[in-house]
Amino acid sequence: MAVNLRPPQLLHPVPGVRLGVAQAAIKKPGRDDLLLIELAAGSRVAGVFTRNAFAAAPVLLCRERLQTGSGVRALLVNAGNANAATGAGGLDDARATCAAVAQDRQCLPEQVLPFSTGVIGQRLPVQRMLAAVPRAGAALAEDGWLRAAHAIMTTDTVPKGASRRVETSQGPVTVTGIAKGVGMICPDMATLLAFVGTDARLTQPAVRECLRGAVADSFNSVTVDGDTSTNDSCVLFATARQGARDIGVTHPDFGIVAAAVREVCVELAQAVVRDGEGATRFVTIEVGGARSVEEARRAAYSIAHSPLVKTALFAGDANWGRIAMAIGKAGIEGLDPAGVDLRLDDVMLLAGGQPHPEYREELGAAVVAKPEFTIGVGLGRGQARARLWTCDLSYDYVKINAEYRT
């Protein structure tokens, strides 16, 4: 059960974007598992992708096609099969599905970006996907965002979407996004699959810069289990349907649009953690007093990745000694325990590396019994800070992943 997460209530259509879904029986019959996203001509697109050495075939094609600047007109997304570790055949399969979209949408195959998620090491059921592409094309609609969020789910229990509307000097701008992902989450660029669209007239450099900043503060600040997927992809597309003048990175409206994109990405990234496989706790980790942001993030991830910390959180056990252990093993050179402070929400556990004189076990227990709380760390070394979001590790995580292919 996801932690305080409900399906999105309102996802604003983005002018210049249409979405359609279809059933292709990729892993199991009887569910929508193929998504087609059509972009208006002239859309500007940027993406960030996994750094896993076993990057999936669709990731390789996306990287290649975004570098050519041929003008993206469509995205094809399938759930149930990752098309990863499939060699040259996997690339052929991805190209074949893109060619089918190009024929259906009357564009070039190089103008189609493929995305896949699901089981690694299996070839795509290409013929079933080719047959489903025209059905997805016939279903294209501007209001198809929620159906799209459902179609890309795998072990997700809740569809993930977020939407904002903001005022700019050229009128109102819409930003809407969807994402999927609950496990194999420790991105080094984005998280599994996320698609964010806006009608703002962003230049191509502005789209790239907007995505870079948003990902750093959102998808690159979450972890469920410390594993980085082979298929992680996050794409931002700007259809340039609003306004008459381009918005570059120095334009006054850029900050407004970038802030809205960041808010959407943060909401999506948090939704991924809230729906972490078997999650019962949503935990914010804040580390301050570091000499660098990198040092603060190292301490935060050491806490978030510790199985001992995560299982204690699942039990509602304020076993703060495990948190101290995780800070100590983070590899921070010259860390002096006498400078470290530790808290759960506003309850101080350690002050100057020693148990706080007013701490009582029942105070810590009351915090970790809640579905959401913050672990706060002060390293006492500098002014840099970092924040990330994680979840606990429950019995259900083991069950879900043990039975993933059955």
Q: What is the pTM of this model?
A: 0.94
Residue 226 has pLDDT above 90, yes or no: no
Asked if residue 70 has pLDDT above 90, the reply is no
The CATH number linked to 329 is 3.10.20.340
Amino acid in the structure at residue 291: R
The answer to the question of residue 358 being in a domain is yes
pLDDT of residue 63: 95
For residues 324 and 223, the model is more confident at 324
CATH of residue 179's domain is 3.60.70.12
Whether residues 225 and 357 share a domain: the answer is no
Same domain, 266 and 348: no
The verdict on residue 329 lying in a domain is yes
Are 231 and 293 part of one and the same domain?
A: no
Q: Is 35 part of any domain?
A: yes
Q: Name the least confident of 114-128, 133-147, 253-267, 389-403.
A: 389-403
Residue 406 scores a pLDDT above 70:
no
**Res 187: pLDDT:** 64
What pLDDT band is residue 117 in, cutting at 50, 70 and 90? very high
Query: What does the pLDDT average to over 297-309?
Result: 96
For residue 128 the two structure tokens come to: 């079933």
Q: Which of 216-220, 239-243, 367-371 has the lowest mean pLDDT?
A: 216-220
Segment (H or E) for 349:
strand 347-351
Task: Please tell me the predicted confidence (pLDDT) of residue 182.
Answer: 66
Q: Is residue 12 part of a domain?
A: no
Running DSSP on this structure, what letter comes out for residue 283? E
> With pLDDT > 90 as the criterion, what percentage of the chain qualifies?
85
In whole angstroms, give the CA distance from residue 163 to residue 264. Answer: 6
Give pLDDT tens digits for 373-403: 999 999 999 999 999 999 999 988 888 778 7
Does 259 lie in the same domain as 358? no
Lowest mean pLDDT among 64-68, 163-167, 397-401: 397-401
Q: What's the CA angle centered on 36, arms 34 and 37, to 5 degrees?
A: 145
Q: Is the pLDDT of residue 97 over 60?
A: yes
Q: Looking at residue 188, what is its pLDDT?
A: 63
Q: Does residue 165 have a pLDDT over 90? A: yes
Sequence-ordered strand ranges (E) for 100-250: 112-119, 160-168, 171-180, 193-198, 233-238
Q: List residues bridging with 77 in a β-sheet.
A: 35, 115
In a shared domain, residues 193 and 245: yes
Q: Does 42 have pLDDT greater than 80?
A: yes
Q: Report the chain's mean pLDDT, rounded to a whole number.
A: 94
- 97, 117, 191, 390: the active-site residue: 191
In a domain, 367, yes or no: yes
Residue where a domain terminates, one of 274, 308, 340 = 274
**pLDDT, average across residues 207-225:** 92
Range of the domain at 351: 282-402
List the Cα angle 57/61/67 in 5-degree steps: 150
Number of Cβ within a 10 Å radius of residue 209: 17
Q: Look at the chain and report how many structural domains it folds into.
A: 2
pLDDT for res 234:
95
Instruction: Quickly state the pLDDT bin for 223 (edges 50, 70, 90).
Output: confident
Alpha-carbon span 162 to 271, nearest angstrom: 10
β-strand pairing of 384-391 with 193-198: unpaired
- In-domain check, residue 8: no
Q: What is the pLDDT of residues 242-288, one digit of tens each?
A: 999 999 999 999 999 999 999 999 999 999 999 987 899 999 999 99
The candidate with the shortest Cα–Cα distance to 23, out of 175, 159, 129, is 129
Is 191 marked active-site? yes
Say whether pLDDT at 30 is over 60.
Answer: yes
Both 119 and 241 in one domain: the answer is: yes
